[in-house]
Amino acid sequence: MRLFACLVMIVLSAVPAAAERRQPSAALAAAMNGREPQAALALARTELRLCRAEAKAGDDCFALLWQNFFAHRWAGQVDAGIQYLKEALAIAEAGRATRQEHWQLLAQIGVELEDLERRADAEPYWRAVVALMTGDPREDIYRLLLAENLRTQGKFLLAEGEVARAALALQRSPAATPGRIASIHNLRALILDGQQRWAEAAIEFRLALAIRRADPQTKSNIVGRTYVNLLGPLLKLKRYDDAEQAVKEALALDVTDDPALIVQLVLLDAPLAEARADWARAERAYRRALELQLAISRTSTATANVYHGLGSFLIERGRFAEGEPFQRSAYRIYRSRLSADHPRRLAITIWLAGCLLRLDRAADARTLFREAGRGFDTRVGDVRLAGTGSEAADRRRIFFGQVKTAWRVSVPSPRAIS
């Protein structure tokens, strides 16, 4: 599931084709439609190579660059696919594409980088999209996408500013809808939650929830994700009865068409049960969520989050031998998907090392502690975190706050826009 689900995937047929552009062959289109990723990848590369070799003046291979992006991403080569998008973006920035093509490319690169959890790399692309979309009826949507990017980097004040601008843009827009109004309340609540202003966050989540429940156009899965977001502040405020009611209402929703959300809703019960010291109920929730998540994917970071939740729960109960395999599974996924200095990878590495230490596996634990140390050294040694200025201090505070947040994953990660 994409972080920014409000962006519809840009299909090649939606990109206007100029007369001088080379178009994909019928064979390539058939391979893409026939769900043959390796065949599509080989054909896409070949056709682009021929286009580049045979191109005449004004022939820019634009459509084939898009097709190569889709073929590479489909084959699991996302980074390579992004490079084709950047090549197409250079064509757009040279004035050889429409304004719509230009912002679509920027937004698609932003989406792909977000999916790779490269938030800082994605930020300039979202800023460029906002610059192009200023004055457009959809300006508020893209300002919220930029605000969400800033929030996930811990840049809360900048995110607040973009939410305020989105609200103003929505007031001017002829296309305002209850769903878009609710998205502003929801994202404002997430920012407040990140600032530990939980009472204010709960109020904003309640406003978003009320609007979404009253809107017949809002799907049940979006309402469900708002409940997911609401639970965190309620637990922080120790409003357990309100949290219990929210979980019951969320579980009553019909979201059978959204397996990932079903996992999140099942997982909601775990931190609530822990808050009430109902350990058996919490463990049942974690195990059921893991069973459902494994049916969706065995290698995604979402799966690693659930492994980590169950593993840390067992370790905190002193059940080290039982918790270790789950933490190791989380560690393997994070290690394959996240950079060595990513907060979540650092957190799980230390968790697993500590567990191994309690199991008298000191040598294995030492190796992992050293790995985590190298990750910390890489991040703290970054020029953006070095120095004694207030800006560097803020970045260090944000980074270590992210590690702390990743330390114990139980409530599903909140989402700004669904």
SS3 assignment for 121-137: HHHHHHHHHHHHHCCCC
Q: What's the full length of the chain, in residues?
A: 418
Q: Where are the domains of the chain?
A: 297-383+390-412
| Residue 103: pLDDT band with limits 50, 70, 90 | very high
Maximal C-alpha separation, the chain: 72
* Lowest-confidence segment of 252-266, 337-351, 378-392 by average pLDDT: 378-392
Spatial distance between the Cα atoms of 298 and 300, rounded to a whole number of angstroms: 6
Residues 59, 67 contacting (CB under 8 angstroms): no
Output b/e per residue, 229-244; b: 16+ Cβ within 10 A.
bbbbbbbbeebeebbb
* Lowest-confidence segment of 31-45, 277-291, 347-361 by average pLDDT: 31-45
Say if residue 385's pLDDT is above 90.
Answer: no
| Residue 25: pLDDT band with limits 50, 70, 90 | confident
Number of Cβ within 10 Å of residue 59's Cβ equals: 14
Q: Looking at the domain that runs over 297-383+390-412, which CATH code has it been given?
A: 1.25.40.10
Render pLDDT for 300-348 as a digit per residue (tens, 0 to 9). Answer: 999 999 999 999 999 999 999 999 999 999 999 999 988 888 888 888 9
Read off the tokens for 35: 């769900």
Render pLDDT for 119-140 as a digit per residue (tens, 0 to 9). Answer: 889 999 999 999 999 999 999 9
Residue with the bigger pLDDT between 110 and 70: it is: 110
Sequence-distant (≥ 6) Cβ neighbours of residue 128 within 8 angstroms: 106
